[in-house]
């Protein structure tokens, strides 16, 4: 497009040079006759000693021609200048050339006229037509020897076509720049639905040479029949009953390529028309929303999971409250037992929250559950075992179990006496080929255990949690020297097993 604009400028310059040369030859009397191509064919005009043929030549020029006094007053003009400025011919002579020039540019025109008295000059200028529209023009001005006051010959060449060509070239460069820099897939099609231009993102999606191929062959979209028809109308620019095709905005689609089967896009499309409103094709934009869709799906899953967990927590709280009040002799006893169990539940959820509801280290859960009693002495509460990651669904029931065992130890067992000791150890085993954890809770040095105590809610809770919530078993052995509890439960996935490291 740039080459075409430069060629047109060069053609205008050649025309201007020819006009200048012709007028100069006429002025010197070197030309006897001229051949002018008119509407009825070539015509010969004799110039020898005559003024009329000269005027006829000037009137037939495609450029505006004027004779202007040094102060800018128009002494003569041809019809072309009157046409270019949309001014009646009889209203041109006697007016100042400045009357067709925007007020802010009078100085440049006056300077041109002053300098052109001595030597020919040309400038690009803008005239204001009678209808207030602008006329871009190339103005040539040079001295004209009339023997009287200084007079100028001025020609005005319409540059509208050249500027239009330059604007088109600029618009094309701008469009190409947008396509090259666009981060989205942008495709331009002609009225047959064949691709003419693509952005780099669209080229990457197509995976092959796409220019010149039908859009639907390169991008086989999974569309509803109604959307497919609407897109076809946009591409061809033809709608039923002669209506203009509507734009498509934000339609979620997938592309039927194996490499793109898991990706989602938002489709937008709009028609392209020329200055007369005639269809030229369309632009189609495909915005990759795969990550957004995955985020929405993940968010929906989290909301469902949160809803499930809240219901589970409420069920646990209700069950704990019901069983605690049934086995409590007074409201004071109920309050203490219930508060403790709620704290155990809260502890489990605090740990899960810190881990962003990911797998939790068994050593961390045990340490947090026994943290209030570490102050009794390092030799009184000890823990040991390999490092293990617990699935999230195990953390709450295991925390509740540890709480019940700890409460019993503080009230009746090893931690109720100054000489008592508590050991919590765990090992990794296998059950039916699946990894399992076996935790041994051993109390030593506390008050003698005369016999198995009556089964209370804590004992029931431990057994229930071991059997149902941990999907394993809990065995309580009330030995005279102290309680021993063995918890055994599976870990669902082997990825929860880390390298064995002795916990401190």
Contacts of 44 (CB under 8 A, 6+ apart): 33, 34, 35
Continuous H helices in 250-330: 290-326
Q: Which residue has tokens 């995955």?
A: 294
pLDDT for the residue numbered 488:
92
pLDDT over threshold 90, residue 426:
yes
Query: Domains of the chain: which residue ranges?
Result: 2-164, 182-288, 347-496
- Residue pair 47/33 in contact (Cβ under 8 Å)? The answer is yes
- Residue pair 171/2 in contact (Cβ under 8 Å)? The answer is no
Q: Which of residues 454 and 273 earns the better pLDDT score?
A: 273
Edge to edge, the sheet with strand 421-431 lists 381-384, 421-431, 434-444, 482-490, 473-479
pLDDT for the residue numbered 95:
92
- Residue pair 84/131 in contact (Cβ under 8 Å)? The answer is no
Q: What is the pLDDT of residues 205-261, one digit of tens each?
A: 887 778 888 888 888 888 777 777 777 777 666 655 555 666 788 888 888 887 787
pLDDT over threshold 50, residue 46:
no
Helices (H), strands (E): how many in the chain?
13, 19
Contacts of 213 (CB under 8 A, 6+ apart): 194, 195
Average of per-residue pLDDT across 166-175: 70
Q: What is the pLDDT of residues 356-396, one digit of tens each?
A: 667 888 998 898 888 877 766 668 889 999 999 888 888 88
pLDDT for the residue numbered 444:
92
pLDDT for the residue numbered 249:
83
48-52, 217-221, 399-403, range with the lowest pLDDT: 48-52
Structure tokens at 74: 């128009």
What is the percent of the chain with per-residue pLDDT over 90, rounded to a whole number? 11
Q: Which CATH number fits domain 347-496: 3.40.50.620, 3.90.1150.10, 3.40.1130.10, 3.30.565.10?
A: 3.30.565.10
* Angstrom distances, CA of residue 412 to CA of 372, 416, 447, 453: 17, 6, 7, 11
Reported as a pLDDT band with limits 50, 70 and 90, residue 25 is: low
pLDDT over threshold 60, residue 348:
yes
Adjacent-strand bridge partners of 435: 430
- Backbone φ and ψ of 429, nearest 5°: -135, -170
Alpha carbon distance 433, 420 (integer Å): 38
Q: Are strands 74-77 and 279-288 parallel, antiparallel or unpaired?
A: unpaired
Indicate if 347-496 has the same CATH topology as 2-164. Answer: no
Task: Give 93: exposed, middle or buried? Use CB within 10 Å, 0-12, 13-18, 19+.
Answer: middle
pLDDT over threshold 60, residue 495:
no
Torsion sign over Cα 41, 47, 51, 55: positive
The HSE-up count of residue 79 (CA atoms within 13 Å, CB side) is 6
pLDDT over threshold 60, residue 148:
yes
Alpha carbon distance 287, 283 (integer Å): 13
What is the 8-class DSSP label of residue 184? Answer: S
pLDDT for the residue numbered 279:
78
Torsion sign over Cα 343, 344, 349, 354: positive
pLDDT for the residue numbered 133:
87
Cα–Cα–Cα angle for 472, 475, 481, rounded to 5 degrees: 155
pLDDT for the residue numbered 454:
52
Reported as a pLDDT band with limits 50, 70 and 90, residue 151 is: confident
pLDDT for the residue numbered 253:
86
pLDDT for the residue numbered 442:
95
Q: Which of residues 287 and 39 earns the better pLDDT score?
A: 287
Instruction: Choose among 410, 411, 421: nearest CA to 445.
Output: 421
Alpha carbon distance 474, 463 (integer Å): 5
Q: Which of residues 180 and 479 earns the better pLDDT score?
A: 479
pLDDT for the residue numbered 49:
46
Q: Does CATH number 3.30.450.20 belong to domain 2-164?
A: yes
The HSE-up count of residue 55 (CA atoms within 13 Å, CB side) is 7
pTM of the complete model: 0.44
Return left, alpha or beta for 433; rule: phi > 0 is left, psi -120 to 50 is alpha, else beta. left
Contacts of 336 (CB under 8 A, 6+ apart): none
Instruction: Choose among 271, 289, 288: nearest CA to 202.
Output: 288
Alpha carbon distance 288, 296 (integer Å): 14
Alpha carbon distance 293, 214 (integer Å): 29
pLDDT over threshold 50, residue 277:
yes
Which CATH fold topology does 182-288 show? Answer: Beta-Lactamase (3.30.450)
Q: Which residue has tokens 């088109």?
A: 168
Adjacent-strand bridge partners of 188: 197, 283
């Amino acid at each position: 497009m740039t080459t075409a604009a430069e060629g047109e400028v060069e053609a205008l310059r050649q025309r201007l040079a020819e006009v200048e040369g012709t007028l100069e030859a006429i002025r010197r009397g070197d030309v006897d006759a001229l051949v002018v191509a008119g509407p009825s064919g070539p015509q010969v005009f004799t110039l020898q000693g005559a003024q009329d043929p000269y005027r006829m030549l000037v009137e037939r020029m495609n450029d505006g021609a004027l004779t202007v006094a040094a102060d800018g007053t128009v002494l003569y003009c041809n019809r072309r200048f009157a046409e270019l400025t949309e001014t009646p011919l009889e209203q041109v002579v006697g007016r100042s050339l400045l009357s067709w020039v925007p007020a802010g540019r009078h100085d440049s025109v006056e300077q041109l006229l002053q300098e052109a008295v001595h030597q020919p000059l040309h400038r690009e200028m803008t005239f204001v037509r009678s209808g207030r529209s602008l006329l871009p023009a190339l103005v040539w001005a040079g001295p004209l020897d009339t023997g009287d006051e200084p007079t100028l010959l001025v020609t005005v060449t319409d540059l509208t076509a050249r500027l239009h060509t330059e604007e088109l070239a600029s618009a094309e460069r701008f469009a190409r720049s947008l396509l090259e820099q666009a981060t989205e897939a942008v495709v331009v099609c002609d009225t047959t639905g064949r691709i003419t231009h693509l952005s780099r993102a669209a080229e990457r999606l197509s995976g092959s040479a796409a220019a010149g191929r039908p859009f639907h062959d390169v991008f086989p979209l999974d569309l509803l029949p109604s959307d497919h028809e609407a897109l076809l109308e946009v591409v061809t620019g033809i709608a039923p009953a002669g209506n203009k095709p509507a734009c498509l905005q934000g339609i979620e689609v997938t592309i039927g390529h194996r490499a793109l089967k898991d990706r989602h896009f938002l489709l937008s499309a709009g028609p392209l028309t020329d200055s007369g409103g005639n269809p030229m094709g369309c632009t189609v934009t495909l915005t990759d929303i795969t990550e957004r869709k995955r985020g929405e799906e993940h968010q929906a899953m989290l909301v469902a999971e949160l809803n499930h967990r809240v219901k589970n927590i409420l069920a646990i709280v209700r069950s704990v409250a019901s069983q605690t009040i049934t086995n409590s002799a007074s409201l004071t006893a109920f309050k203490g037992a219930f508060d403790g169990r709620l704290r155990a539940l809260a502890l489990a959820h605090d740990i899960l929250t810190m881990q962003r509801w990911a797998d939790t280290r068994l050593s961390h859960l045990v340490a947090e559950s026994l943290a209030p009693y570490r102050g009794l002495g390092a030799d009184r509460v000890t823990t040991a075992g390999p490092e293990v990651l617990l699935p999230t669904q195990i953390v709450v029931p295991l925390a509740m179990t540890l709480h019940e065992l700890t409460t019993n130890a503080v009230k009746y067992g090893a931690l109720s006496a100054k000489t008592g000791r508590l050991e919590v150890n765990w090992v990794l085993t296998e059950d039916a080929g699946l990894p399992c954890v076996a935790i041994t809770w051993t109390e030593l040095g506390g008050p003698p255990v005369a016999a198995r105590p009556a089964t209370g809610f804590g004992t029931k809770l431990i057994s229930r949690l071991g059997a149902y919530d941990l999907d394993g078993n809990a065995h309580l052995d009330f030995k005279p020297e102290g309680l021993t509890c063995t918890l055994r439960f599976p870990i669902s996935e082997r990825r929860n097993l880390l390298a064995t490291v002795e916990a401190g």
